[in-house]
Amino acid sequence: MTNSASDPAAATASSDVHIDVRDVTLQHGDRVIQRDLNFAIKRGDIFVIMGGSGCGKSTLLKHMIGLYEPAAGEILIDGQNFFGAEPDVQLQMRRHWGITYQLGGLFSDMTLAENVALPLQQYTALERDEIRDLAAYKLALVGLAGFEDFHPAAISGGMQKRAALARAIALDPELLFFDEPSAGLDPLSSQRLDELILEIRESMGATVVIVTHELASIFAIANNAVFLDAETKTQLDYGPPRELLHNSEHEIVRRFLARGEIA
Amino acid sequence: MILGYLGSVQLRQFGAEVYVANLVALGMVREMGALMTAVIMAGRTGAAFAAQLGTMQANEEIDAITTLGISPMEYLVVPRMLALIVVMPLLCMLANALGLIGGALVASGMDVSFMQFVNQARSAVSPGDIATGLVKSVIFGLLIGTAGCQAGLQSGRSSAAVGQATTRAVVNAIVYLVIADAALNILYDKLGI
């Protein structure tokens, strides 16, 4: 499973590869967090980056979205290396991404509507009224109609996650990144968020990359997943979660996906 | 008021109390107005900038701004710097006015009438003296903004780190102010201003 699926040459040969991670090493200063990462994410996939706490899942995501540059290797999005691109190309790449952060990343001094309006102001020439209407529509899509004038601190954690999702989909992105979307949510809110992600993927056809270790979410929505290991500091396996659960050659991957209930 | 009081006590020994107006007026418009305003603003606004930006860093708001393709420098730092550049000379003028009033009040208790103080101060202070203080206040504003924003943007992602960033902003700003003030005074002296 690991060998065929993670072969970068085979991955790039396919035209429907959206993100191609090639021989990537992640470092903080001199400390290696992950190395030799090789996997591809197909267009339209819901792809999960999973692994134990502290293995570097969120760090990998932050490298994918261009916040940090890999110490080695490259991450190609639509065949383009973000860090090798000109600033205007980088801006155009970002125009097609929607991102939600583990802590929400909502601007605390803005209302929800203003948060959602910001990417529209940045990337479109829409009139003020149109932006306001579109922001209200996006908030309604995630079940936050009527909360346009609320500030993030005045709503619950689950609502903040949904508001962040509304901002992420403001520009109808081709690529959606979620960092721990279910963190801190009760099971029902978490399930509702999973359903929202599925609905948005269906309606927009976007590729979705999710960092999570919530097993319910992984099995409910993911087509493919990569498992990062904190001990060996590299990916152990890569493929559909149910296949990994039953067939992974790595015991830790099977135990992780079975919540430690199998040997 | 402190300058006025100390000056009056010393100058009285020479029968020159009226010159307390020169001391207070020149001291305020060239030096103390800008410097005291800057120290207060370093503690208030410099610390606030560091805390705001540090909290934004901890809440991943700066990551969100960056990945929206918006420069944190343009969106967060430049408006704050511009605000300080505009406000600092105004606050400096207010501080000058309040300092002169305070000096006049102290002097009036030491046999220098209010009008004597005003006339003496007017003869002692030139527009150039006022300008030197205002130029200082603009430079001090830039330094306070730089210290605050730099500490905030370089903050770690925890509440403890935000506290450290806030402390660093104030300490750095005051060190910058002292160095810049000394350098500007030497420069003014060399230029004969």
**How far is CA A220 from its chain centroid?**
16
pLDDT at A3 over 50: no
pLDDT of residue B183: 96
Which of B59, B68, B70 is opposite residue A103, by nearest beta carbon? B59
pLDDT at A227 over 50: yes
Question: For residue A189, what are its two tokens?
Answer: 């809110």
Q: How far apart are CA B174 and CA B177, in angstroms?
A: 5
Domains of chain B, by residue range, sit at: 2-191
For A102-131, what is each residue's pLDDT tens digit? 888 999 999 999 999 999 999 999 999 999
- Cβ contacts of A99 on chain B, cutoff 8 Å: 64, 67
pLDDT of residue A260: 56
For B136-162, what is each residue's pLDDT tens digit? 999 999 999 999 999 999 999 889 999
CB contact under 8 A, A118 and B68: yes
How many of the other CB atoms lie within 10 Å of CB of A232?
A: 14
- Put simply, whether B73 touches A (Cβ < 8 Å) is no
CB contact under 8 A, B61 and A67: no
Shortest CA gap A8–chain B (Å): 26
Q: Alpha helix locations (H) across chain A?
A: 2-5, 8-13, 57-64, 87-95, 112-123, 128-141, 157-168, 187-204, 215-221, 241-247, 251-257
ipTM of this predicted structure:
0.84
Backbone angles phi, psi at A50, to 5 degrees: -125, 170
Of the pLDDT bands very low, low, confident and very high (cuts 50, 70, 90), residue A176 is: very high
Shortest CA gap A209–chain B (Å): 15
Q: How far apart are CA A229 and CA A236, in angstroms?
A: 6
Give the residue from B47, B76, B54, B64 showing the smallest Cα distance to B158. B54
Of the pLDDT bands very low, low, confident and very high (cuts 50, 70, 90), residue A60 is: very high
CB contact under 8 A, B64 and A67: no
A191-199, long-range: CB < 8 A, 24+ apart: A191/A216, A191/A220, A192/A143, A192/A158, A193/A158, A193/A161, A193/A162, A193/A165, A194/A220, A194/A221, A196/A142, A196/A143, A196/A162, A196/A165, A197/A46, A197/A165, A197/A221, A198/A46
Which of A91, A103, A107 is opposite residue B69, by nearest beta carbon? A91
Domains of chain A, by residue range, sit at: 43-65+85-257
- Put simply, whether A22 touches B (Cβ < 8 Å) is no
CATH architecture of A43-65+85-257: 3-Layer(aba) Sandwich (3.40)
- Put simply, whether B48 touches A (Cβ < 8 Å) is no
pLDDT of residue A189: 82
- Cβ contacts of B67 on chain A, cutoff 8 Å: 65-67, 94, 97, 99
Q: How far apart are CA A209 and CA A44, in angstroms?
A: 10
- Put simply, whether A157 touches B (Cβ < 8 Å) is no
CB contact under 8 A, A105 and B63: yes
Of the pLDDT bands very low, low, confident and very high (cuts 50, 70, 90), residue A15 is: low
CB contact under 8 A, B59 and A90: no
Q: How far apart are CA B76 and CA B67, in angstroms?
A: 14
Interface test with B, best of A94, A110, A161, A178 (most B CBs within 10 A): A94
User: Between residues A24 and A102, which one has the greater pLDDT?
Assistant: A24
Q: How far apart are CA A47 and CA A19, in angstroms?
A: 10
Task: Output the DSSP codes for B147-191.
Answer: HHHHHHHT--SSHHHHHHHHHHHHHHHHHHHHHHHHHHHHHHHHH
Of the pLDDT bands very low, low, confident and very high (cuts 50, 70, 90), residue A261 is: low
Of the pLDDT bands very low, low, confident and very high (cuts 50, 70, 90), residue A12 is: very low
pLDDT of residue B142: 97
pLDDT of residue A184: 77
Nearest residue of B to residue A93 by CA position? B69
How far is residue A95 from each of residues A65, A84, A88, A121, B66, measured CA to CA in Å?
Answer: 12, 17, 10, 12, 12
- Put simply, whether B63 touches A (Cβ < 8 Å) is yes
Mean pLDDT of the A196-215 span? 90
pLDDT at A262 over 70: no
DSSP state of A182: T
Which residues of chain B register pLDDT less than 70? none
